[in-house]
Structure 1
């Protein structure tokens, strides 16, 4: 029997064992084989694609958007912070390839506005664009090319084949791309969407490197294109952000946000959230070791407008977010009172707290902040039938007497005695089934919390000697880890 005579299911099965290069050759063997495997091929490679802010990469995005079939397949576009490297050996090859193709460099692309125009052109041609993302890493999961192969940005190897050291079979080695700050990329994406009059449902920002979004990244409602952003924000359902401290030369988002409950400012992030009435999912990953983010959460959980005038401008009213059902917070130090207000203000179906560090709102609060918070949530949510899913991972607190000591909170196994500390874990999650109440589980969880007592033996950075360092140094950065991201690539987890 000839290959083309095989049933379609067998041809598809054969295709799953081929590398990407071999799959390309397989598609070229006959029109029949191409027709059989095209849907599977398009679903794997063109449902979601990652691109760089380089002209060869954005040109490929435009070409895909102009394709009569693939344009409708592409529902998620991810922009990487990677840019082509300036290494002398590589720049010669890349520079010549760009010159021969009539392309401009990254700096010219950004400075002249060509990046905005190219993104806008591509977005306007994608009828089913649902998600626009920003990330600073290449995702795993390219299984057909080996266990270590990743989903790299389109165009990452541009000009590389001219190098004497280039090996097309080296699936593990990766080109040393540079990483640009993500700060200006998010505004660029919003302006391109606004200019194209495209309204995606989701904006996903996953950043694993040191650089995060800053206040300037959210200052998008003013300026020449500011009025075009409103419809984009107004249609958004999912917003996931990775927020860090300000870089040198910029005013601090932290200082612009007050620490007293009930006070809110016109800081850019606050203004942005006030323009998202359809928001259903909000994920905010902050930067560990920045305790003043508590001020922003005070504003997020506030319910009454304060008319105080601050140096940053008139006070903005509280945000309602009437459709918000899922809230995820990570890597933040916050007062127990502020976190309680946030979790009880919205009619949540689920919430996730990852590496959240509590500190007491006053000296009169109990020493075990997490136990007290869970008990307060139990009382507040006792009759709540909406909340169905809760995740609390790697919680900690600042010691009420010594703020330089971080105490790790553990959860005892169900049924453990008061003095039994064996089998404790740093993660607790629960999904309430039919006829069950989340308040009952929160009450039971509060009785299982355990914070090791403080003694005089602490190390130089204030952490207790008996803290499990493996848990503390976990590679999962809330939301950016594989356990907490949505599927970021077709047929894989976290791209």
Structure 2
């Protein structure tokens, strides 16, 4: 029996054992094989794709958006902060290839607005676009090409894959791409969506490196920019952000955050959340070691007044978020009272804490220390008391069980006890993070569950 005469299910089974390169050759064997594999091929490689802000990569996005079949398949577009190495003298393989193809450099692409135009044009032609993302790493899960293979941005090997020494499976010898700061990329994506009049439901920002979003990333609501971006925010249902302190040269975001409940603020992030009335899921990963972010949570949990006070300035009063049902917080220090206000303010169905440090009281309230008995200690036992309790919760962990067990181990000294303590209640690792990650401050500590991606270079 000839290969083309095999039943469709056997052809699909054969294709499952091929590498990406072998699959490409297999699809070219005959029109019949191509027709059989078309559906599974499009689902695996064109449901979700990652691109760089480089002309060769964005041109691929444009080509997909113009394809009569693949355009409707692409539902998630991820933009990477990776960029090709600079080649000012056009002497390397990348520079020569870009020169011969007539492509401009990354700097020219951004400065001239060509990146914005290419993104908005492509977005306008993707009828089923549901999610737009930003990331600074390559996702795992490309098992077709081996356990260590990753899903790279389209075009990562541009100008390099034609060299005789090129080996796509050589992870050590692969050229390292540069990483641009993420703070200008999010406004670019919002603006491109606004220009295209496309309203995705989800905005996902997963950043594992040191650079995170800053105040400049959210300062997008005024003037002509705000007119375009407002409708995009208004339709957003799922918002995930990675927020850090300001880079050198920018004013500090921390000074713009409120320090106690009920205080209006002109913090751009607070104003941005005011524009998301349909928000259902909110994930905020902060930068570890920045306790001032607890002021933002004070604002988030502040109650809504009976009568809304209108303000002529760019201030943000308490936010209601009437549809919010899921809240996820990562790497922030906050008082238990502030967290309680946040969790009880919204009609939440679920919440997740990832490397969150809870304090027994806020800085403005009297310290009310508590301690924790070792596991297995009796009700009257007090030796070996600890000032903190840690729990690393992985997928499938029931936090309620641990909290109930912790309540039985909690010990509050009598009022006359003047024992020294730092007032800490507990450190909580929970939610959707990696269950085997026990490092604080490492590059890959961000709270995300997005390692199994569906995009590739084909």
Whether the 8 Å CA contact 2:304–2:320 is kept in 1: the answer is no
Superposed CA deviations along residues 208-238 of structure 1, whole A, max 9, x for unmatched, are 0000000000011113232011110111100
Give the structure 2 partner of residue 129 of structure 1: 129
Give the structure 2 partner of residue 86 of structure 1: 86
Give the CA deviation at 1:331. Answer: 0.6
Q: Which moved more, 1:236-245 or 1:2-11?
A: 2-11
Give the CA deviation at 1:444. Answer: 4.6
- TM-score, with structure 2 as normaliser: 0.84
Supply the distance in 2 between the matched residues of 1:147 and 1:62 (Cα, whole angstroms): 30
Residues 19, 90 of structure 1: CA spacing in aligned structure 2 closer, same or farther, 3 A cutoff?
farther
- Secondary structure, aligned partner of 1:34: helix
Give the structure 2 partner of residue 446 of structure 1: 407
The yes-or-no answer on 1:356 pairing with 2:356 is yes
Superposed CA deviations along residues 57-78 of structure 1, whole A, max 9, x for unmatched, are 0000000000000000000000
Give the structure 1 partner of residue 391 of structure 2: 426
Supply the distance in 2 between the matched residues of 1:223 and 1:491 (Cα, whole angstroms): 36
- TM-score, with structure 1 as normaliser: 0.78
The yes-or-no answer on 1:366 pairing with 2:368 is yes
Counterpart selection for 2:438 from 471, 474, 484:
471
Residues 471, 413 of structure 1: CA spacing in aligned structure 2 closer, same or farther, 3 A cutoff?
farther
Whether the 8 Å CA contact 2:140–2:451 is kept in 1: the answer is no
Residues 199, 327 of structure 1: CA spacing in aligned structure 2 closer, same or farther, 3 A cutoff?
same
Supply the distance in 2 between the matched residues of 1:430 and 1:140 (Cα, whole angstroms): 18
- Show structure 2 runs of 5+ residues with no match: 413-418, 421-436
Whether the 8 Å CA contact 1:263–1:315 is kept in 2: the answer is no
Give the structure 2 partner of residue 160 of structure 1: 160
Higher relative contact order (CA 8 A, sep 6+): 2
Superposed CA deviations along residues 275-314 of structure 1, whole A, max 9, x for unmatched, are 100000000000011110011111111114699999x956
Q: Which moved more, 1:158-167 or 1:183-192?
A: 158-167
Give the CA deviation at 1:263. Answer: 1.0
Give the structure 1 partner of residue 74 of structure 2: 74
Give the structure 2 partner of residue 194 of structure 1: 194
- Secondary structure, aligned partner of 1:42: helix
Aligned length, in residue pairs? 430
Give the structure 2 partner of residue 485 of structure 1: 449
- Show structure 1 runs of 5+ residues with no match: 372-408, 457-469
Superposition pairs for residues 216-227 of structure 1, below 5 Å? 216-227=216-227
Give the structure 1 partner of residue 228 of structure 2: 228
Supply the distance in 1 between the matched residues of 2:129 and 2:161 (Cα, whole angstroms): 32
Give the CA deviation at 1:175. Answer: 2.1
Superposition pairs for residues 278-289 of structure 1, below 5 Å? 278-289=278-289
Give the CA deviation at 1:432. Answer: 12
Supply the distance in 1 between the matched residues of 2:203 and 2:247 (Cα, whole angstroms): 23
Give the CA deviation at 1:252. Answer: 1.1
Residues 149, 426 of structure 1: CA spacing in aligned structure 2 closer, same or farther, 3 A cutoff?
same
Supply the distance in 2 between the matched residues of 1:326 and 1:194 (Cα, whole angstroms): 26
